[in-house]
């Protein structure tokens, strides 16, 4: 029983590591092949467009004087610690929540890596309709959003919520 619980934990932390690897690899490929601000059209609604986000979600605080980098690094670091502890505690009990936490952790570490190393987050996925563009994002952001979606699903449909 103990070894099965340990294996589940390693599985989820391994998934987080895979997300970080995929995120960093795709960012490296885009930076190596697309000039800043440049774009490659892949379809009528999807481009690869290289931008740097010095702010948070949707470029929040991107126009600040640089202090936001270390504030976001600190917040992301603390968040990663909290996610690791939470994931370690639920890994064997709740697979959907574990998946959600692993995705969010991987995404948080991927963006933390950028912010620590570069001072900004590399974004490149550009989804649009005609002239309306969703803010550019990356694999880490996608993992975070998917993880948040799974947490909502878990909250709505978990058996713990149905108990009186």
User: Is 117 a catalytic site residue?
Assistant: no
Query: 32: how many CB neighbours lie within 10 A of its CB?
Result: 7
Torsion of CA 59, 64, 68, 69, to 10 degrees: 80
| Active site annotation includes 160 | no
d(CA 20, CA 30): 15
Under 8 Å between Cβ of 91 and 9? yes
**Buried b or exposed e, range 82-104, using 16+ CB within 10 angstroms:** ebbeebeebbbebeebbbbbbbb
Catalytic residue among 23, 114, 126, 141: 141
Eight-class DSSP state of 130: T
Catalytic residue among 114, 123, 126, 154: 123
Looking at the annotation, which residues are catalytic? 123, 141
């Amino acid at each position: 029983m103990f070894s099965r619980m340990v294996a589940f934990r390693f599985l989820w932390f391994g998934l987080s590591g895979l997300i970080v690897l995929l995120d960093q690899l795709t960012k490296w490929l885009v930076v190596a092949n697309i000039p800043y601000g440049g774009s490659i059209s892949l379809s009528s609604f999807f481009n690869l467009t290289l931008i740097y986000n010095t702010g948070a979600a949707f470029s929040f605080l991107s126009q600040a004087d640089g202090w936001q980098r270390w504030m976001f690094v600190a917040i992301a670091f603390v968040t990663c610690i909290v996610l690791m502890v939470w994931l370690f505690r639920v890994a064997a009990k709740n697979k959907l929540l574990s998946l959600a936490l692993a995705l969010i952790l991987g995404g948080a570490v991927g963006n933390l890596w950028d912010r620590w190393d570069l001072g900004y987050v590399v974004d490149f996925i550009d989804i649009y309709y005609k002239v309306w563009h969703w803010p550019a994002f990356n694999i880490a952001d996608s993992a975070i959003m998917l993880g948040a979606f799974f947490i909502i699903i878990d909250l709505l449909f978990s058996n713990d919520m149905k108990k009186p």
